A = this chain, B = another copy of it.
Amino acid sequence: MNINFDVKDFIKKFENSCHKVQKKTFVRNEVITSYINKRNQLCILVNGNANLVRYDLSGNRTIVDHFSSGDVFGEVFYSVTTNNELLVEARENCDVLFYIYDDIRTKCKHTCKFHQELSDDLPELILNKVTDLNTRIELLTKRSIRDKLLGYFSILSTRHLNKSFTLPFSLTDLADFLSIDRSAMMRELKLLKEDGFIEKIGNRITLLYK
């Protein structure tokens, strides 16, 4: 969920205007935060990339969301009733801003600049999130592995304004993101190449159709 307005400007505002904001750094594979403890925190990923991951009882791993520089995350954007453990895992070294809030839903009474900005920007951030979630659902409702892959590639192609693009995460993670078996996905990728739909060199994909 990337913020629409200038990311650097936004981060600067958060960083300098309120003592309640903390900056922390994480190394690869570290857990940045978990969504299970009602921590009431809003996080901004300044640098790096990270995954929001869920492990279910059968041991399946699902990548619920993927964050890169400028993305905002936290429990506000993920309030469900089920009690599955949700972790934000750093995929590489990450700088993260944390803001602890009392009640993010109500207009904040503090007079510092940060809280006002946050109050103003939050609806927009959440609407962006809604868009992402709907896009995700559209992918997940596709009936075959082929359609899920082509659907996701199409999104990436649009986002990059280019028929060629590099996957934002590993193929292993892609399978967990699309909620499919990795080997079955690899098989389908091979078929997509053979059928002339895509070109694939490592994690770089080029769409050959339309």
Binding site for B on A (CB under 8 A): 54, 56, 58, 60, 62, 64, 76-82, 84, 105, 122-124, 126-127, 129-131, 133-138, 140-143, 147, 155, 158, 179
Contacts and interface: CB of A to CB of B under 8 A. Distances in A.
A130 B133 contact: yes
Contacts of A122: 123
30 contacts: A54-B138, A58-B143, A58-B147, A62-B141, A64-B137, A64-B141, A76-B127, A79-B127, A79-B130, A79-B131, A79-B134, A81-B158, A82-B135, A82-B138, A84-B138, A105-B127, A122-B123, A123-B123, A123-B126, A126-B126, A126-B130, A130-B130, A130-B133, A133-B133, A133-B134, A133-B137, A137-B137, A137-B140, A140-B140, A141-B179
Contacts of A105: 123-124, 127
Contacts of A78: 130, 134
Copies of this chain, complex-wide, total 2
Between A54, A80, A136, A140, the greatest number of chain B beta carbons within 10 A of the residue's beta carbon is seen for A80
Nearest to A57: B147
A196 B7 CA distance: 54
A64 B134 CA distance: 9
Contacts of A147: 58
Nearest to A159: B81
Contacts of A140: 137, 140-141, 179
